[in-house]
């Protein structure tokens, strides 16, 4: 049985919800940082910890696997010490990867010895600032720039809203940082678990569509379905066909109208739990 790590920051709730969607439940006991995991026999327990500590704990074998942002792995300079099992497209507010960015009062990038940089990610900042002085920032980076002492900041953003509202600009994107499942050793079980979680997130993009089709309309209907894979087709007892297919959720209204115009009947759609 495996021990997993979960960050205690903004990703905690969506990560727990993701595991709950595949039948897991987390048994919290007061303020304990170790929590039992029920519903998935593969996982013994989860350890709640600072996201930045997860890569090191995985690399050292304290955890079998963990979920964190790739920015945490990069900041700890452990890209070669852990295995990225799978990228998981979710976040605090959106399904897009967050970005580690350089921010400033204008869009011109300058790297000189007299430049002072407030960096939430000092090691990542060193990849782009070779001459400037870098000081660690534990948050409030936008405010530090507004007070005038710092010329640039290096911080993480999901939507860029806070940066814009504070009158600042994104000067450069240093790193795209998806949520990742990382492991010290890749096993078939951990790979399948990663694929399962990714399957839950992928399912949000698709719908299962079902319909009945008379024989005379079959060819024009079957050629109109943009299925993820080949549709499933069954013969109906009284003639005609039952067709079902996994289709992209975007544009579903237009697709239903088109299918109805071409003769499909009894059309229904269903949400999917997992696509893998």
Residues 169 and 183 in one domain: no
Q: Which two tokens stand for residue 98?
A: 């967050």
Residue 12 lies in a domain: yes
Residues 70 and 172 in one domain: no
CATH number at residue 21: 3.40.190.10
Residues 136 and 246 in one domain: no
Residues 87 and 106 in one domain: no
Residues 166 and 229 in one domain: no
| Neighbouring C-beta atoms of residue 106, cutoff 10 Å | 9
Q: What is the pLDDT of residue 93?
A: 66
CATH number at residue 236: 3.30.70.120
- In order of 21, 71, 211, 244, the CA distances from 234 in angstroms are 30, 48, 11, 9
Question: CA 242, CA 5: separation in Å to the nearest integer?
Answer: 45
Closest of 50, 89, 85, 40 to residue 64, by C-alpha: 85
Question: CA 249, CA 203: separation in Å to the nearest integer?
Answer: 10
Q: What is the pLDDT of residue 92?
A: 66
Domain boundary among 148, 169, 203: 203
Q: What is the pLDDT of residue 158?
A: 86
- In order of 127, 128, 131, 226, the CA distances from 169 in angstroms are 20, 17, 21, 41
Residue 21 lies in a domain: yes
Residue 115 lies in a domain: yes
Domains in the chain: how many in total? Answer: 3
Residues 40 and 158 in one domain: no
Binned average pLDDT, 10 residues per bin, the chain of 276 residues: 90 91 84 87 92 95 95 95 94 78 92 94 95 93 88 91 90 94 94 95 94 95 87 93 94 95 95 88
Residues 81 and 119 in one domain: no
Closest of 205, 155, 182, 13 to residue 86, by C-alpha: 182
Residues 108 and 224 in one domain: no
| Domain with 253 in it | 206-271
Question: CA 249, CA 206: separation in Å to the nearest integer?
Answer: 5
Residues 186 and 90 in one domain: yes
Residues 44 and 146 in one domain: no
Domain boundary among 159, 177, 195: 177
Residue 196 lies in a domain: yes
Do the bridges between strand 179-183 and strand 83-88 make them parallel or antiparallel, or are there none, so unpaired?
Answer: antiparallel
Residue 147 lies in a domain: yes
Residues 84 and 183 in one domain: yes
Residue 276 lies in a domain: no
Residues 226 and 210 in one domain: yes
């Amino acid at each position: 049985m495996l021990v997993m790590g979960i960050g205690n920051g903004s990703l905690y709730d969506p990560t727990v919800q993701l595991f709950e969607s595949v039948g897991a439940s987390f048994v919290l006991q007061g303020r304990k940082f170790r929590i039992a995991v029920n519903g998935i026999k593969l996982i013994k327990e989860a350890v709640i910890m600072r996201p930045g500590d997860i890569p090191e704990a995985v690399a050292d074998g304290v955890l079998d696997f963990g979920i964190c942002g790739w920015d945490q792995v990069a900041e700890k300079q452990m890209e070669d010490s852990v295995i990225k099992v799978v990228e998981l497209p979710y976040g605090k507010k959106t399904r897009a990867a967050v970005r580690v960015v350089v921010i400033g009062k204008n869009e011109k990038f300058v790297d000189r010895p007299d430049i002072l940089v407030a960096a939430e990610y000092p090691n990542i900042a060193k990849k782009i600032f070779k001459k400037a002085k870098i000081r660690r920032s534990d948050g409030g980076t936008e405010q530090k720039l507004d007070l005038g002492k710092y010329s640039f900041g290096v911080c993480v953003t999901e939507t860029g809203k806070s940066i814009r509202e504070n009158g600042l600009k994104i000067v450069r994107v240093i790193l795209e940082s998806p949520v990742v499942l990382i492991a010290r050793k890749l096993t078939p079980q951990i790979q399948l678990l990663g694929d399962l979680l990714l399957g839950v997130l992928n399912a949000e993009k698709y719908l299962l569509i079902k319909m009945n089709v008379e024989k005379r309309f079959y060819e024009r209907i079957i050629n109109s379905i943009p299925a993820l894979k080949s549709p499933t087709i069954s013969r109906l007892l009284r003639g005609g066909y039952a067709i079902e297919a996994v289709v992209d959720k975007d544009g579903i209204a237009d697709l239903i109208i088109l299918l109805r115009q071409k003769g499909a009947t009894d059309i229904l759609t269903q949400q999917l739990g997992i696509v893998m």
